[in-house]
Amino acid sequence: MSGWIKLNRKLLQWEWYTSPKHTRVFTHLLLIANHKAGSWRGIPFDKGQALTSIPKIAQETGLSVQNVRTVLKDLVSTGEITRKPTRQLTHITIVNWATYQLSEDPANVPSNMQLTDGQRTSNFKQEVKKEKKDKNKYTDAFESFWSAYPKKTGKGQAFKAWKSAVDRAPPVDIMAGLKTSPQLDREQRYIPNASTWLNGDGWKDEPADAEYVNIFDDCDWLKHD
């Protein structure tokens, strides 16, 4: 294979970045994803898609098969990729591949060393302006949370609560808490709004007991003949 890929510095803010195995697998998928549509043995693929397999990814990244399987499951859960197994291979799509990779030919893009001081200053101001504008948008991590949360009420307030919550806990812990929080295993009308759940550290809730235990079973003095 030849060519190049873009690697945006925003990767440093990615919720999986501090997990070496997640970063390794996702970067590997960016490297092997096709940059144009085609087909292989009758299986069509599009830009940003890769035809591969879990054992092959494990071999190419030096990770175990179980690690790769877990990472792919996590990346699907947070919306980075979609995965469609076929009879022979796994069809993986990088959801925002076009956003990550499509741009001008790098040969036609002047390097930072070729820019004048005025151009560098102008570019810096544009980047700062863009960053300020982006702060008003929902993040990908929040969108994944909002998609998974069972009650869709008060999205704006939920995003404010999310930004505060991720200062107190990693997003992966918050997402995991969605599956175990007893507050969310109720009728829809009793489920708290997402902002309330986040502000109350709902992801820390202990899971409900699997079965009821009668604490009086061993109290012989309560039993009557």
Does 157 reside within a domain?
A: yes
Does 188 reside within a domain?
A: yes
- Rounded to an integer, the average pLDDT of 152-168 is 91
Q: Encode pLDDT of 11-48 as tens digits.
A: 788 888 899 999 999 989 888 887 776 666 666 667 77
Does 183 reside within a domain?
A: yes
Residues 94 and 146 in one domain: no
Number of domains in the chain: 2
Residues 88 and 31 in one domain: yes
Residues 90 and 152 in one domain: no
The pTM of this model reads 0.43
More confident residue, 203 or 217: 203
- Rounded to an integer, the average pLDDT of 184-205 is 91
Does 215 reside within a domain?
A: no
**Of 46-55, 66-75, 112-121, 125-134, which gets the smallest average pLDDT?**
112-121
Residues 96 and 25 in one domain: yes
149 forms bridges with which residues in the sheet?
Answer: none
Range(s) of the domain holding residue 161: 140-204
Query: Highest mean pLDDT range out of 37-46, 49-58, 61-70, 102-111?
Result: 61-70
Q: Encode pLDDT of 87-107 as tens digits.
A: 667 888 888 776 666 554 444
pLDDT value, residue 103: 52
pLDDT value, residue 115: 42
Residues 92 and 153 in one domain: no
Does 199 reside within a domain?
A: yes
pLDDT value, residue 120: 42
Does 77 reside within a domain?
A: yes
Residues 17 and 78 in one domain: yes
Does 126 reside within a domain?
A: no
Give residue 133's pLDDT band: very low, low, confident or very high (50, 70, 90): low
Q: 3-state secondary structure string, the chain?
A: CCCCCCCCHHHHHCCCCCCHHHHHHHHHHHHHCCCCCEEECCEEECCCEEEECHHHHHHHHCCCHHHHHHHHHHHHHCCCEEEEECCCCEEEEECCHHHHHCCCCHHHCCCHHHCCHHHHHHHHHHHHHHHHHHCCCCCHHHHHHHHHCCCCCCHHHHHHHHHHHCCCCCHHHHHHHHHHCHHHCCCHHHCCCHHHHHHCCHHHCCCCCCCCCCCCCCCHHHCCC
Residues 145 and 96 in one domain: no
Residues 68 and 147 in one domain: no
83: nearest Cα among 42, 20, 143, 25: 25
Residues 14 and 83 in one domain: yes
Residues 65 and 144 in one domain: no
pLDDT value, residue 72: 92
Provide the CATH number for the domain around residue 20.
Answer: 1.10.10.10
Give residue 8's pLDDT band: very low, low, confident or very high (50, 70, 90): confident
Does 212 reside within a domain?
A: no
pLDDT value, residue 124: 47
Residues 92 and 163 in one domain: no
- Rounded to an integer, the average pLDDT of 55-66 is 92
